[in-house]
Amino acid sequence: MNGKTVLVTGATFGIGQATALQLARLGASTIIAGRNEEKSQNVVDDIRQETGNPNVHYLLADLSSISQTVSLAEEFRARYSRLDVLVNNVGAFAWKRHLTADGLEQIFALNYLVGHFLLTGLLLDLLQASAPSRIVNVSSDAHFAGKIDFDKLQGNGRYSGWKAYSQSKLANVLFTYALARRLEGSGVTVNALHPGVVNSGFATPDNTPEILARGFRQVYGLFARSPSEGAETSVYLAAAPELEGVTGCYFADKQAKDSAKASYDRTTQERLWQVSLQMLDRFGVYPFLGRGSESRPEPGSP
């Protein structure tokens, strides 16, 4: 990865931090995206010390916020002339429904619409200019339980944290396949992955009832992977020479596998793409550049 520039989101703990560490160890100029400045600086210092790679830096943004995500993309462009690999790792789980400052349901925004779809779009032309380049979308086998309910994308009605999470992970895979078609022949590949069940504290957010948190810690301690093990497939998709040109696939344990049947439905892929663009258009944000008639939402389209 010498000479390559990579951006890893959600990289101040867990799988994201382990991914950034391993890519820095391979020689990449590694930029991590985090929310907290002190924590981000500490992670950067640790990675530099452990790898001996001085080209590790951070950018700050809450990637559930549209304005902060736009600012991060602008700052990245101002600092760096290329982007060889974008690892969309950021994600979260919540038991209760929360809205972002933009009025979006938090899990849908962070795990898909803003943290993955929008950020990718804002950096897409830089990835194209840096081709051959790669986009790595961290999804989950939770997407097998997901359902895209276009009437309840925002978790309106009776809220279920699991339904919101699995829906967001299915959206990641649908987005991966739709984007791979659009990027065919561009030199930019895009793949999704399941990292495995990882003991990173991810499933026990701050609002987890203590009795559940204790149970999760005990169960995860028995069979879950370490963050380093969970990062292996992300690093493989980002760096493996044999994957040059491989696109539009779903991976687990560094092997391509079938994703959920629902993820291959092109009608759902395209409808989600259009709806996502329309949702962002309401905020005056239009991220995807010059990808033809499929990209721009038509007035009155679903």
- Of the residues 165, 177, 220, 236, only one is catalytic, namely 165
Residues 6 or more apart whose Cβ sits within 8 Å of residue 89? 8, 9, 10, 11, 15, 16, 19, 136, 138, 234
CA distance 233 to 221: 21
Angle between helices 37-51 and 14-25 (to 10 degrees): 40
Strand order in the sheet with 85-88: 56-60, 29-34, 5-9, 85-88, 133-138, 188-194, 250-252, 255-257
CB 24 within 8 A of CB 54: no
Query: Does residue 220 have an active-site annotation?
Result: no
CB 257 within 8 A of CB 250: yes
3-state secondary structure of 206: coil
Residues serving a catalytic function are 165
